[in-house]
Chain A
Amino acid sequence: MTQVTFTQTDGTQITVEANNNEHLMKLALENGVEGITGACGGSCMCATCHVSVDHVSGNLAGPGEMEEEILDMEIDNPLATSRLCCQIFVANDLNAIKVTVQEG
């Protein structure tokens, strides 16, 4: 199990335990995290699940080509830590991750 913490735009946090292969957009929707829409259902086709990654314990794979393009072109001021959370997958070697919801 991996501990995933979402910080919402109002500063409140939601922490959940996640299973392997689940992505963070799905976890956010299921747990009612404010500000995550996931309009395309996790197909990496929109930018409505934008987060910044604040802390990682363990390993986290970097963004793929499409994700980098979306971050570059759909988001006005992407942060160095910006990710689309539908592309962040929980894995064995990811112990814990903290993200903050950003404007889509």
Chain B
Amino acid sequence: MAGIVIVGAGHAGVKVAASLRTMDPDAPITLLSAESQIPYHRPPLSKKSVFDAALPMELLQANGYYEKANIDLRLNTTVTSINPDVSSVTLADGQQLNYQQLVIATGTKVRRLPVPGGERAMSVYTYADIQTLGPRLQSANHIAVIGGGFIGCEIAAGALKIGKQVSLLITGPRALRKSVAPILGETVTKLHRQQGMDIRTGCQVLAITEQGVQTNQGFVQADLIISGIGAQANMQLAQAADLTTDHGILVDEFGRTSLSHIYAVGDVAEFPYGGDLLRLESIQNATDQGANVAANIIAERHHQAPKAYTPTPWFWSDQGDLKLQMAGLGNLDAEHKVLPGNTPNNLTVVHLSKGRMMAVDTLNMPANHLAARKLLEMKKPITWAMIEACDFDLKKLFKQLR
């Protein structure tokens, strides 16, 4: 009997499967993964696993879970097409799998450097990547990391911490330019430099050779080159099946794509958010949207009304000894105000738009992050005056408003 087929077994795909099983003990669930590993946590790959070969892979669910939960997990299984007319997917071995509901959770694929020798730069995306990269990183002396986003900074800081000479090559004026408030990006850049990281801003990569990286600022010698220049939605399957796409597969607030009975979830999905469209690469999104889509599939199967996905985004990044935590969706155009009480290594920045708190970035201030998350989840207007009236204590403000 046809059931629910999930393409992709990252955080989002596994969350859909596990949530479905919690809500419906009997629905047939098939979970397809192109990878050969039992589904695992990705964030630790760039934060710790790649620096320590002794660290085991962290599984999303226990090895025996899928069998026990009667979820048909198929590893090494690639989908070659989605056939909406006959409600099936075709697998690489030619087999057809029928579905009643299909979930596309194909995530992203890393961007490759479009320069001569670009293929020499290694990436950190899958467990297979770090199995190759880990030993090379241990034996390398000078590592060049290309890209000043979260992944690039995490790898550069981690490599520095295990005693490597590290150059971080960034096209923009500071690290994390697109991700956090400017003052936080500047602070992180300064703190990494103080630790001895060679950060080159305004640096364009022109070519990669066996000896290092050719840039607009000269040659950077390196015996290992790693790139972290972002990812793009992995949506060829959806495009070939004529689903509507933009930067991701377009879904409505219920996770439904342009074709009936087909959902998309996690990094690959672009969903309505605050009057705009948003594609998020985060654990929060994979987990919360996964749970939402699972509930909406159950609703569809029982002819009930779906529920909208209304997330409060949050993110984190571990960079050496720095812990960055972001609540809400920050914006470079927002007004950025720093909460008093910061020290050189601690910072809380509030993003204000039209006088209202939209996001809060913190550096090594976990209590403020959590309070900000709780405040944003209340979806009430929070102004700077309200924060000031609570002596800039976000937790106090939350407890007052709760």
Contacts and interface: CB of A to CB of B under 8 A. Distances in A.
B367 interface: yes
B79 to A, nearest CB: 26
Contacts of B47: 43
A42 interface: yes
B325 interface: yes
A18 to B, nearest CB: 12
Contacts of B43: 40-41, 43
A66 B58 CA distance: 21
B371 interface: yes
Nearest to B288: A39
B371 A32 contact: no
Given A41-B41, A43-B316, A43-B318, A32 B370 contact: no
A86 to B, nearest CB: 10
B366 interface: yes
A60 interface: no
B366 A30 contact: no
B141 interface: no
Contacts of B314: 45
Contacts of B367: 65-66, 69
Interface residues of A, number: 18
A70 interface: yes
A32 B283 contact: no
Interface in A34-80: 39-45, 65-66, 69-70, 73-74
Interface residues of B, number: 26
Contact of B62 (A30, A43, A65): A30
Interface stretch (B63-71, B97-105, B244-252, B265-273): B63-71
Nearest to B59: A29
A40 B314 CA distance: 11
A31 interface: yes
A26 interface: yes
B398 interface: yes
B374 interface: yes
B221 interface: no
A65 B366 contact: yes
Contacts of B65: 32
Interface string B368-399: 00110010000000000000000000010010
Nearest to A29: B62
A66 B371 contact: no
Contacts of B345: none
B44 interface: yes
Interface of B: 41, 43-44, 47, 58-65, 68, 283, 287, 314, 316, 318, 325, 366-367, 370-371, 374, 395, 398
The 3 closest A-B pairs by CB, nearest first: A66-B366, A41-B41, A32-B62
18 contacts: A29-B58, A29-B59, A29-B62, A30-B62, A30-B63, A32-B62, A41-B41, A41-B58, A41-B283, A42-B41, A43-B43, A43-B318, A66-B367, A69-B366, A69-B370, A73-B371, A73-B398, A74-B370
Given A41-B44, A45-B283, 17 more contacts: A29-B59, A29-B62, A30-B62, A32-B62, A39-B287, A40-B283, A41-B41, A41-B43, A41-B58, A41-B283, A42-B44, A43-B43, A43-B318, A45-B314, A69-B366, A69-B395, A70-B370
